[in-house]
Every structure is written in structure tokens, then in C-alpha cells.
């Protein structure tokens, strides 16, 4: 495992994968919507877009052409806690990947004309999300459970905040957050460690050190109810219980519980509500974890007349777990599913790059695959049920996005 720090504070982490010829490189910047103010909500996502819109060396079209010329892929995404720019290519073209990513990271023009053009693109993206009632329900749920804390802000921002972000706002934002100590360079696949270190020094060694911005306080969970009407056919039900932070000791128990409760075709919710009752096509439970915060997220898309019934059936399954627990077979199936999914994910160079980059950025450490597999294997029925009793006795937060009343 490659794990070093340049003099300016940039962390470099890498995992070599034998028998592949590709390499995935990612720049992980420690800023997302959780670091924003209410008036500039969406600026992290706006900045993600702008790094593709031209640099001192390349136009937006040249960035795309130079990556296509090596047959590579270039993309980015923004979350509540970080922004990631990543590329994948064959191993012989890794220097070109470094050149393009470094050019975007250090040389973005943030030109006013491009800012105005991209503002329109982002407003269209917000419209796309608004047309997805499941996304609307999940955003409403985040806003409810985090009680006004920035953790509950929408990643893309609102129409009003996006309209208010100026080129000077973006330049100040870049100067503050796009710094060496607030960034991790992650690599996975086929590479030579000495070459990666030399490329990092060449392309990122002069990045200003700055400060790190990935420390967040705890955020209390807020139960409650919210409802919104839209011109849709289904009711989208999103429910949350208090969950766990990303590095909580019981995180493996949480993953196993969610798998048994609502994570697969054999799970409680899928079998009861979809297979036995025929009340939903999509229903699941999953953990959402952040630094010092987290929720258990339950979602179902149902006919409006069945929404109360499905909500009641979810409650019944929760009560049954509280009273009678989960079976050994349910626990074993969930552990097997998670182990298999993780092992198969190890075969993806992009997946490994994302895993090591995210963990190094947020926690300054990376667990080895052996350590993660041992974490799943240590889970047992008693530890899962103890966690379930702890979180499921709390009141839940519930959001419904419903069809318009006619």
C-alpha cells in the first residue's frame, strides 16, 4: 500500500492490483455541501462543474479531447462531505491523466462567461432532480433529520442560491478549499510507486498547503413528519432512524442488520411487502453514514391508498425484530452477501481507488481488505440485535411525497 505525504501536506495513497492493465486516479477534496453556508448552498457542486470548463492550458473541449485521445474516462461527483475528480486509463497513459487532473485542479479559469453558461446547466440539473420524486423524498428527509444543520442541505443547492453564486465567490472558495492539506491523491490498479510519487511531486508539489476542513461535530437526530404533493402517481415514503457514524465500531453490525432487514431479495421488507403483499416494486433499507453522524434509511414507493398500510407493516417488522430478534440464518445470509459484494468490488480499480481515497481523506487511514473481511466475520446475532434495540426504540422521521389531491 502506497501511503506518503508530500512536503506541502498532500496525502498520496495507492493500492496496486496485479493482473490489470488499467489505473484509476482520483483527487479527493475535503469540501462538500456540509461545509457550506445557507446563502451559498451548492457552491461545492458548482465548483465541481467549473473545473471542466477551461484552464490556462486547455479549453473545455480540449480537456475532453485530450482524455478521449488516450481512450480514458474523466468524471467527478460532489457529496455532502467531499468532492472527487477522477480518471481511468491504461497504465501507460498515467502521466497524461496526471497532467489533465492537475491542470483542472490548479489552472481552472473560472471565467465569468463560462460561469453563467454553467449556471444554466446546474439549474437544469436541479429540475431533473425535482422530477425524481424519490430524490425529492430523500432530500426532504435529510433536511428533516438534521434539523437545519448543513448536513441536511441539498448538494446541488437551490435555484435561489445557485443564482446568487458569482465568479468571485468561486475564486474565494477555490483558494480556501482546493489546497494540499485538504486534498488526497488516490491511485489504484497497475502502477509503479516511484513513478506515482514523482508525478505527484511534479504536478502537485507546488500546491499551497492551506488547511484541512474535514473535521465535523456531532449532529443530533431530529424525528418528525413532512409531506409534499407533486404531480406524480405513487407515494414515495422515506423513513429514518438514528444511525452510526462512518467509523463507528458497530458499523459492520449496522451493515449486516440493514442487509437482513431490507438489503436484498431475501430481506424482511422485500419478502413481506413486495413478495407476500405485492404492495411495492422498490423497497429497501440502507445505512447512510457521515463523520460523527448517520441514519438508517428506509424507502418504499407505493400506491397512495397503500401508504399507511406499508408504513404500518414496516413498523410491524421493526416491532417483531425488537421482540423476537433476527434468526441465525438471516444474519448468515446478510454476512455472506456483504462479503461477496465486497470481494467482487475488489476487482474494480475505480472501486478500490474510491475506497482508499475516501477513507484517507476523512479518517487519515485505510483499512486493508483483510481487516474489512474480519470485521464482517466478527458480526454475530447478539451484536446485531443489541444495535437494533438501541436504534429502533427511537422515534422515526418520516417524509411522504404524494400525488396531488384532485
- Record the cell numbers describing residue 328, joined without a space: 441465525
Grid coordinates standing for 101? 487532473
Q: Quick one: which of 56, 75, 48 has its CA closest to 64?
A: 75
- Is residue 112 annotated as a catalytic residue, yes or no? no
**SS3 of the chain:** CEEEECCCCCEEEEEECCCCCEEEEEEEECCCHHHCCHHHCCHHHHHHHHCCCCECCCCHHHHHHHHHCCCCEEEEEECCCCEEEEEEEEHHHHHHHHHHHHHHHHHECCCHHHHHHHHHHHHHHHHHHHCCHHHHHHHHHHHHHCCCCHHHCCCCCCHHHHHHCCHHHHHHHHHHHCCHHHEEEEEEECCCHHHHHHHHHHHHCCCCCCCCCCCCCCCCCCCEEEEEEECCCCEEEEEEEECCCCCCCCHHHHHHHHHHHHCCCCCHHHHHHHHHCCCCCCEEEEEEEECCEEEEEEEEEECHHHHHHHHHHHHHHHHHHHHHCCCHHHHHHHHHHHHHHHHHHCCCHHHHHHHHHHHHHHHCCCCCHHHHHHHHHCCCHHHHHHHHHHHHCCCCEEEEEEECCC
Which residue out of 7, 15, 36, 48 is catalytically annotated? 48
CB atoms under 10 Å from CB of 157, counted, come to 24
Question: In angstroms, what CA-CA distances link 358 with 122, 352, 391?
Answer: 25, 10, 26
d(CA 204, CA 188) in angstroms, rounded, equals 18
Q: How many Å separate Cα 189 from the centre of its chain?
A: 22
Asked whether 268 and 260 are in contact (CB, 8 A), the reply is: yes
Q: Could you list the active site residues?
A: 48
Amino acid at each position: 500500500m502506497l501511503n506518503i505525504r508530500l512536503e506541502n501536506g498532500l496525502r498520496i495513497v495507492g493500492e496496486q492490483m496485479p493482473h490489470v492493465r488499467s489505473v484509476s486516479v482520483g483527487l479527493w477534496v475535503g469540501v462538500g455541501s456540509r461545509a457550506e453556508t445557507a446563502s451559498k448552498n451548492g457552491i461545492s457542486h458548482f465548483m465541481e462543474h467549473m473545473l471542466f470548463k477551461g484552464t490556462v492550458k486547455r479549453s473545455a473541449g480540449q480537456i475532453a479531447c485530450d482524455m478521449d485521445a488516450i481512450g480514458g474516462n474523466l468524471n467527478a461527483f460532489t457529496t455532502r462531505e467531499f468532492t472527487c475528480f477522477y480518471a481511468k486509463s491504461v497504465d501507460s497513459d498515467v502521466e497524461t491523466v496526471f497532467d489533465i487532473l492537475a491542470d483542472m485542479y490548479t489552472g481552472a479559469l473560472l471565467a465569468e462567461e463560462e460561469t453563467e453558461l454553467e449556471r444554466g446547466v446546474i439549474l437544469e440539473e436541479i429540475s431533473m432532480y425535482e422530477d425524481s420524486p424519490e430524490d425529492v423524498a430523500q432530500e426532504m428527509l435529510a433536511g428533516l433529520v438534521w434539523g437545519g444543520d448543513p448536513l441536511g442541505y441539498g448538494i446541488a443547492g437551490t435555484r435561489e442560491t445557485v443564482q446568487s453564486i458569482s465568479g468571485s465567490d468561486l475564486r474565494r472558495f477555490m483558494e480556501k478549499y482546493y489546497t494540499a492539506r485538504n486534498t488526497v491523491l488516490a491511485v489504484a490498479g497497475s502502477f509503479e510507486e516511484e513513478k506515482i510519487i514523482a508525478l505527484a511531486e511534479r504536478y502537485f508539489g507546488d500546491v499551497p498547503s492551506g488547511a484541512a476542513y474535514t473535521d465535523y461535530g456531532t449532529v443530533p437526530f431530529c424525528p418528525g413528519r413532512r409531506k409534499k404533493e407533486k404531480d406524480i402517481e405513487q407515494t414515495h415514503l422515506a423513513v429514518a432512524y438514528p444511525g452510526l457514524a462512518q467509523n463507528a465500531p458497530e458499523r459492520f453490525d449496522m451493515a449486516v442488520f440493514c442487509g437482513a432487514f431490507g438489503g436484498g431479495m431475501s430481506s424482511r421488507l422485500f419478502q413481506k411487502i413486495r413478495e407476500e403483499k405485492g404492495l411495492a416494486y422498490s423497497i429497501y433499507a440502507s445505512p447512510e453514514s457521515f463523520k460523527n453522524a448517520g441514519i438508517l434509511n428506509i424507502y418504499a414507493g407505493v400506491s397512495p391508498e397503500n401508504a399507511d398500510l406499508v408504513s404500518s407493516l414496516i413498523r410491524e417488522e421493526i416491532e417483531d425484530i425488537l421482540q423476537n430478534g433476527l434468526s441465525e440464518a438471516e444474519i448468515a445470509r446478510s454476512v455472506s452477501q456483504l462479503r461477496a459484494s465486497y470481494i467482487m468490488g475488489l476487482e474494480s480499480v475505480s472501486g478500490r481507488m474510491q475506497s482508499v481515497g475516501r477513507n484517507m481523506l476523512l479518517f487519515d487511514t485505510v483499512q486493508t481488505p483483510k481487516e474489512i473481511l474480519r470485521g464482517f466475520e466478527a458480526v454475530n446475532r447478539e451484536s446485531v440485535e443489541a444495535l437494533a434495540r438501541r436504534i429502533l426504540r427511537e422515534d422515526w422521521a418520516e417524509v411522504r411525497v404524494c400525488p396531488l389531491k384532485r
